Amino acid sequence: MHVLIVKTSSMGDVLHTLPALTDAMQCIPGIRFDWVVEENFAQIPGWHSAVDRVIPVAIRRWRKNWFGNETRQQRSDFKRELQRTAYDAVIDAQGLMKSAALITRSARGPKHGMDCKTAREPFASWFYNHRYSIDKQQHAVERIRELFACSLGYEKPGGQGDYAIAARFLGHLPPDHASYLVFLHATTRDEKHWPESHWRELIALAEPSGLKIKLPWGAEHEHRRAQRLAEGFSHVEVLPRMTLEQVATTLAGAKAVVSVDTGLSHLTAALDKPNITLYGPTDPGLIGGYGKHQTALRSPTGAMADIDAATVWKLLNGE
């Protein structure tokens, strides 16, 4: 059986889809997947052993000049690549008009997705041949697992879902694995940031433990923040710019991780690494860290500044 997955973004949403593939592999021997995903996250699907072909799409970039000649050509090339294969099933796990109208509609094969009452954007369901009511009051991972089970005709396995990617990185751990912590300090919204003074206090608390601290970053302003956090501390390393796979390898080798609400926090969960995620105005609820060893620490007031470093350090030490 050959299935196309349409799940383009964001990083957390893409990662949340992986356990559904593991379920399908267990229930349908020999099943294989192709996957349409935003170009920035194209490394992720290939980490799962059930994925044959990753088809990058660039909707975010194309929107900047949708009718430009270069964009027109790239959209045409994408459509040609998408239609190269006829699939036994096309599963739109995104549930948005942009995925349904621009991608799922053009794919070759019977199209499956959530119905108008449970899709993220109700009108997206117009483009599906088969529609399913998926309970919204469950974690995003469980919703996608249920969608795959309905679409492919098996009973969703019980128990916690398995991302099935951690083993990929176990044979490539850094030489200093288990001797460092990773602090994921970067996120997209200002109100989700933990104050730099709090990060530095946590760094100071960690110093007597002998553990090193590694600070990854993506954009230049995150690099500057990492440098400020590390200033004056010999046990802190500001990492170089890395690919997503290199970041995953670093996370896989960590003793533990502390993170704000960010896509890399979900990657940490997918790698089964102990992770304390700090939440202020956002509610982890049904979209928080899913997996083993995941701890959500919520601000008592909704303000990130009201999460104190001493509490985080105690949790890191299992207190």
Find out whether the peptide bond into 151 is cis, omega within 30 degrees of 0.
no
Instruction: Give me the pLDDT at residue 92, please.
Output: 98
Express each pLDDT in 100-144 by its tens digit.
999 999 999 999 999 999 999 999 999 999 999 999 999 999 999
Average pLDDT, the chain: 96
* pLDDT at residue 215 is higher than 90: yes
Mean pLDDT value of segment 69-90 = 97
- Compute the distance between CA of residue 182 and CA of residue 71 in angstroms, rounded to an integer: 38
CA-based nearest residue to 123, from 97, 104, 105, 102: 97
Q: DSSP string spanning the chain?
A: -EEEEE----HHHHHHHHHHHHHHHHHSTT-EEEEEEEGGGTTTGGGSTTEEEEEEE-HHHHGGGTTSHHHHHHHHHHHHHHTTSB-SEEEE-S-SHHHHHHTGGGSBS-EEEE-TTTSSSGGGGGG-SEEE---SSS-HHHHHHHHHHHHHT-PPPSS------HHHHHTT--TTTTSEEEEE---SSGGGPPPHHHHHHHHHHHGGGT-EEEE--SSHHHHHHHHHHHTT-TTEEEPPP--HHHHHHHHHT-SEEEEESSHHHHHHHHTT--EEEEESSS--TTTS--STTEEEEE-SSS-GGGS-HHHHHHHHTT-
**Mind listing the domains of the chain with CATH numbers?**
2-164 (3.40.50.2000), 167-316 (3.40.50.2000)
Contact 157, 134 (CB under 8 A): no
Residue 199 CA to residue 185 CA, distance in Å, equals: 8
Q: Note the pLDDT of residue 83.
A: 98
CB environment 13-28: b (16+ within 10 A), e (fewer):
bbbbbbbbbbbbbebb
Tokens representing 266 are: 């979900």
Question: Per-residue confidence at 285, pLDDT binned at 50, 70, 90?
Answer: confident
Share of residues in the chain with pLDDT > 90 (%): 95
Whether 261 has a pLDDT exceeding 90, the answer reads yes
